[in-house]
Amino acid sequence: MKKYLFLIIGISFILAGCTSVKYDAALNNNNKTEDTISVIDSSNHKLTVKKVPEKVVALSSSFAELWMLSGGKLAGVTSDAVSNRNIGINQNDAEIVGTEMKPNSEKILEIKPDLVILDKDMTSNMALTVMLDKAGIPYYICKVETLDDYLSALKKFVSITGEKNNYNENGEKVKKQVDSLLKLLPNSNKKTPSALVLRAYSSGVHVLSDDNVTCNILDDMGVDNIAKSNKSLLKDLSIEAIIRDNPDYIFVVTMGSNNDNAIASLKKSLISNPAWNTLKAVKSNKVFILPKELFQYKPNNKWGDSYEYLLKIIYPEIYKTK
């Protein structure tokens, strides 16, 4: 009897040891299972999400498209992903959960998402983090202003979807395209071209200096953004402040669904002033309204097109119109 008692006790210790090993391994793996993965988003916020999540909600059209480019499916999107852009999704594919400016928290919760993708630059998006934390819903805070930002986000999204080939197709190829374009930049001692970048809303016009798709592309091209050295432009936009640096180019990014309202605002703020016509960029017809799909929204897999668009304007002798 004692022999069997010792045998039972010994087996119990062995089982206890096995349980301990498994528990320790789980701790070392941050409590992940084979069906989940942990990633760090653009805000250095760590999230653990289900692999290949089926119920994903994206609260901006740009990041809805980015998620789709990673091979992911969407259960919910804001209305701009359907009405403002053609990213290959319609109302039959996903639920509309309000607008980018006013996402509907109730509709988001009704979907019971495995993951919510938030736009870091949208206050309305970031306000949802408290609700999502309470509901135990993982969220990815996304910010993309440079090609490197895009590649980083795409790589992390692909690690979640498991579609590694999508990174090669929509990431590596895009990087090679941009690299090949930048190699064509002329090496000369000519004066560096200068530019002013404006963002026009229906309610007004603002100057952009950095932390923006257009500005970052121009910076990669070696173009001098006058707002970086003339900080007064950021505080008090005026023709007088622009004349001080007299840029070679003026680029305008329009915001909102109604382009006409943004242009009307630009005319009221600047173009109606007689001094506007004295600017070098105006006299040489180098004022450009940039296409929304390449500069207002995130270019995503069209970053090469965005670079080429600006390069053709500034270096027409090299970048011939196709």
Per-residue pLDDT tens for 94-113? 999 999 999 999 999 999 99
| Unique residue bearing structure tokens 């999508």 | 166
pTM: 0.85
**Percentages (nearest 5) of helix, strand, coil residues in the chain:** 50, 15, 35
Q: What is the pLDDT of residue 278?
A: 95
CA atoms of 227 and 101, how far apart (whole Å): 28
For the chain, the C-alpha Rg in angstroms (whole number) is 26
Q: How confident is the model at residue 16 (pLDDT cuts 50, 70, 90)?
A: very low
CA atoms of 10 and 84, how far apart (whole Å): 69
Is-same-fold flag (36-179; 187-314)? Answer: yes
Enter the DSSP assignment of 115: E
Amino acid 213 reads V
Question: What residues are paired with 78 via a beta bridge?
Answer: none
pLDDT tens column, 176-209: 999 999 998 887 667 789 999 999 988 889 999 8
The CA-CA-CA angle for residues 164, 70, 58, to 5°, reads: 150
CA atoms of 253 and 127, how far apart (whole Å): 26
Q: What is the pLDDT of residue 157?
A: 98
Query: Is residue 84 a contact partner of residue 144, using CB atoms and an 8 Å limit?
Result: no
Of the options 3.40.190.80, 3.40.50.1980, 3.40.225.10, 3.40.50.300, the CATH number for the domain spanning 187-314: 3.40.50.1980
Q: Which residue has the higher pLDDT, 31 or 60?
A: 60
Closest CA to 233 of 244, 249, 222, 223: 244
> What is the pLDDT averaged over residues 124-129?
96
CATH no. of 36-179: 3.40.50.1980
Q: What is the pLDDT of residue 172?
A: 98
Residues 6+ apart with CB under 8 A from 191: none
Q: Domain ranges in the chain? A: 36-179, 187-314
CA atoms of 13 and 7, how far apart (whole Å): 10
Query: Is residue 118 a contact partner of residue 125, using CB atoms and an 8 Å limit?
Result: yes
